Amino acid sequence: MKEGDLITTINGQRVQGHNDLWNEIAKYKPGEKVSVEYLRDSKTFTIETTLKACQDNSSRVQIIDTDEAGDNSSRRFFIWNWSDDERQRLRDRHIITIRRGTEGDAPKVNAAPDSQPPVQDRSLQLQSFRAYPNPTQGPMTIEFKSDPVPTIVSLFDLSGRQLFREELNAFNGDYSQQFDLSEYAKGAILVQVLQGDKVFTEQIVVN
């Protein structure tokens, strides 16, 4: 299987979302085999797989915004350690709450592109960038303008743990998002804007 596949059944039991999937998998133990039916490019496939023990990453939340044309690939959020109430608050208020990642919640990733040309070539020049207030006691707004190309906006703690990731595949060049950092412990957060192999970073101080 690969990213983008849509799981439809586990051992013949239909699943309709993240919670159904985890509830079905929880019925089995590591080492047991299950039959997985999934969709790829509107075609149905079935595989048999052996369940493995892994760190609990069930608290990762993916939220997909749909544009006016119904395209659900234009904007995706990936956030870790969220409750259902917080997810609903995002829908209602469009303010994203950031917490400090804990072991097993958010992955540690390289905050720079995998292939690294000379440093001077990797610097992303944004037309404008504002992260305010900085320092902040909680509320913060990130705004920037850039070329209208696919863009990824991420937040990291200083250990490299990714706290937030937003994929903008149909980016129009204007970005504005409010965050609530009041639940994040005092310290620093790195804001990263990635376009292709070019990256922009800014440090936010939470006090």
Confidence at residue 120, expressed as pLDDT on a 0 to 100 scale: 46
pLDDT by residue (tens digit) across 26-76?
788 888 999 999 998 889 999 999 987 654 444 454 555 544 554 444 556
Most confident of 46-55, 78-87, 189-198: 189-198
Q: Give the confidence band of 192 by pLDDT, cuts at 50, 70, 90.
A: very high
pLDDT at site 119: 44
**6-50 and 61-206 in the same fold:** no
Mean pLDDT of 100-112: 54
- Domain ranges for the chain: 6-50, 61-206
pLDDT at 3: 75
Which amino acid type is present at position 147? D
Phi/psi class of residue 172: alpha, beta or left (left: φ > 0; alpha: ψ in -120 to 50)?
Answer: alpha
Which has the higher per-residue pLDDT, 150 or 160? 150
Taking CA atoms, 139 is separated from 87, 133, 148, 184, 190, in Å, by 17, 8, 27, 11, 16
Give the per-residue pLDDT at 53.
63
0.85 surpassed by pTM = no
| Residues 62, 167: Cα–Cα separation, whole Å | 11
Amino acid, res. 101: G
CATH code, residues 6-50: 2.30.42.10
Distances (CA, A) of 108 to 28, 101, 105, 128: 28, 10, 10, 28
Class for domain 61-206, per CATH?
mainly beta
In the predicted structure, residue 200 carries a pLDDT above the cut 90: yes
Contact assessment for residue 131 and residue 202, using Cβ atoms and an 8 Å cutoff: yes
- When pLDDT is averaged across residues 183-189 and rounded to a whole number, the result is 82
Average of pLDDT values for 130-147?
93
Average pLDDT over residues 99-120: 51
